Chain A
Amino acid sequence: MVYNLALRLSGNAADAQDIAQDAFLRAIRGLADFREGSAAATWLYRITVNVWKNRVRSEKRRSFWKTFSLDRDKDEESGTPVLQIASPEPPADAALEKADEKEILEKALAALHPEDRAILVMREIDGRSYEEIAVITELQLGTVKSRISRAREELRQKLGALVQDNGT
């Protein structure tokens, strides 16, 4: 799970392995900081997210932050979910419909904010509560709620026919 969390944060396998490795080493070295009252997984995930954040900062990926504008935080910090209005047009690339389901999902995920991808992994795969995710990511509870809502909505639009409900 740590590796997959790192993979969704970094977006590539090489960085994911570095992040996972770093996170595990920090976890082992920092066992003294672990509080028995907190869940071990939450603690380990938090380390992973922090390792990723530090890497992003240290590498000064300006282009990264331009791509994923920080303006979004205005809405996030208010805790108000941002509603995405579905485009009335069909999915941009109709050929995607024929592609492999995983491939379609990967393309859709690529458009999400890395942290949103990781949040979805924690929610969908590991069943973490919004509160736990807020602790791990150091975000407000409302922000977590809005990010999950927005990420799912973006995926819903991008997955197109794959998830369209025809009432059956």
Chain B
Amino acid sequence: MEHNTCRENLSAYLDGELPADEKLSLESHLAACADCSRELAELKKVSAVFKKNVMEPVPYSLKDAVFAPRERTVFSRWARPVAAFAAAGALLILALPTLREQKQAYSPAVFQAVATGGAAASAGPGPAAFGARRNISVPDHAGAADAAEAAGSPKYAAPSFSKKGAFAQAKFSAAARSATGAVRGSASSLAGGSDDFFGEAAGQGALAAAAKPAHSPAQPKWVNDLIRRHQQGPRGNPPYTIWQYSYKGAEVYYLPPQCCDQYSELYDAKGGLLCAPDGGMGGRGDGKCLDFYELRKNGRLVWQDARGAR
């Protein structure tokens, strides 16, 4: 492969978008060309810097901006229930293809919750359907963890939890709640809510039954710190919860996503951020631990904000 052709194709190679023959040719050239290898390494760094820094928080006012005008100007008062019902059906149709695509990651309870507009609670929080990705940038997990460790502090640095009260997201579930339960389930799927949202009413009941605000002595200090910080801060929507699982032989802590544009978070026992199992537009989190829902075991609700939802 010509040197210039190689350079032109480096970006597509990085994205896995090159045909097999061109890929082989490029790899052959890369093995012999230091300049192209260096450029590829730099493009990877560009990608990493971009991912880490490009996402901005969604303004809190967006939810109101999206739904308030519709209610005031598009639908008359008498037509609201009809429109809400129609929107629920339509949004449900909208949600199903994506749900089907990701069915391996969904528990039957989630489907049931979607279908009923909130009648089932899953054994634990599950992945979002689709919707806007969460507000914070994709973290450079290793970098952040290393920095924290070097400073002698726990790896957990509350990368987004502390922000969740300040940043709003589209909050479609909240708007939908003002219409009907069915709308709630569907609209939250559009926005990327978790199954907590699908089955909010029933789900909360189940969670409450399982919720034993736990401050176990065996619990890592960072978890207790996090709980304390939440208790002192604004409530979440859905209520903040922390789950413990066994995942790939290790103890992990799962923090379900807040509404819409957010990822969930999965931490190791030391508070190091591992990945985002779900949330975001694709409902697949950051894609680094797609097998979390298949492999997780021994789920336990560590803590739920007893104050309820915001």
Interface residues of A, Cβ cutoff 8 Å to B: 1-4, 7-8, 13, 17, 20-21, 24-25, 27-29, 31-32, 34, 36-37, 39-41, 81, 83, 101-102, 105-106, 109, 120-121, 123-127, 129-130, 145, 148-149, 152-153, 155-156, 159, 162-165, 167
Contact = CB atoms under 8 A, between A and B. Distances in A.
5 smallest A-B Cβ distances: which pairs? A163-B45, A149-B11, A31-B90, A1-B281, A165-B41
A17 B98 contact: no
A9 to B, nearest CB: 13
Nearest to B59: A17
B15 A3 contact: no
Given A36-B97, A125-B51, A1 B132 contact: yes
B79 interface: no
Contact of A152 (B46, B55, B90, B132): B46
Contact of B43 (A7, A40, A130, A156): A156
A145 B17 contact: yes
Contacts of B250: none
B180 to A, nearest CB: 15
Contacts of B12: 130, 145, 148-149
Interface range for B = 35 or more
Contacts of B69: 21, 25
Chain A residues touching B, majority SS: helix
Contacts of B55: 4, 125
B130 A41 contact: yes
A165 B11 CA distance: 16
B147 interface: no
B52 interface: yes
B54 interface: yes
Contacts of B190: 27, 40
B98 A40 contact: yes
Contacts of B131: 1
Contact of A39 (B49, B90, B98): B98
A55 to B, nearest CB: 16
6 contacts: A3-B56, A17-B59, A127-B287, A155-B50, A156-B42, A165-B45
Contact of A41 (B4, B61, B87, B282): B282
Contacts of B87: 28, 31
Given A1-B133, A3-B261, A127-B287, A164 B94 contact: no
A162 B140 CA distance: 15
B97 A3 contact: no
Nearest to B64: A21
B117 interface: no
B132 A163 contact: no
B170 interface: yes
A101 B7 contact: no
Given A105-B50, A121-B54, A17 B281 contact: no
Interface in B4-53: 4, 7-12, 14-15, 17, 38-39, 41-43, 45-47, 49-53
Nearest to A131: B17
B66 A163 contact: no
B275 to A, nearest CB: 14
A14 B206 CA distance: 40
Interface in B272-310: 280-282, 287
B47 A124 contact: yes
A159 B287 contact: no
Contacts of A125: 51, 54-55, 133, 138
Contact of A83 (B7, B50, B97, B132): B7
B105 interface: no
B145 interface: no
Contacts of A159: 45-46, 49
Contacts of A28: 70, 87, 90-91
A25 to B, nearest CB: 6
A105 B61 contact: no
Contact of B132 (A2, A109, A165): A2
Contacts of A29: 74
Given A3-B62, A102-B53, A31 B138 contact: no
A17 B11 contact: no
Contact of A105 (B39, B53, B138): B53
Contacts of B209: none
Nearest to A18: B65
B93 interface: yes
A102 B54 CA distance: 8
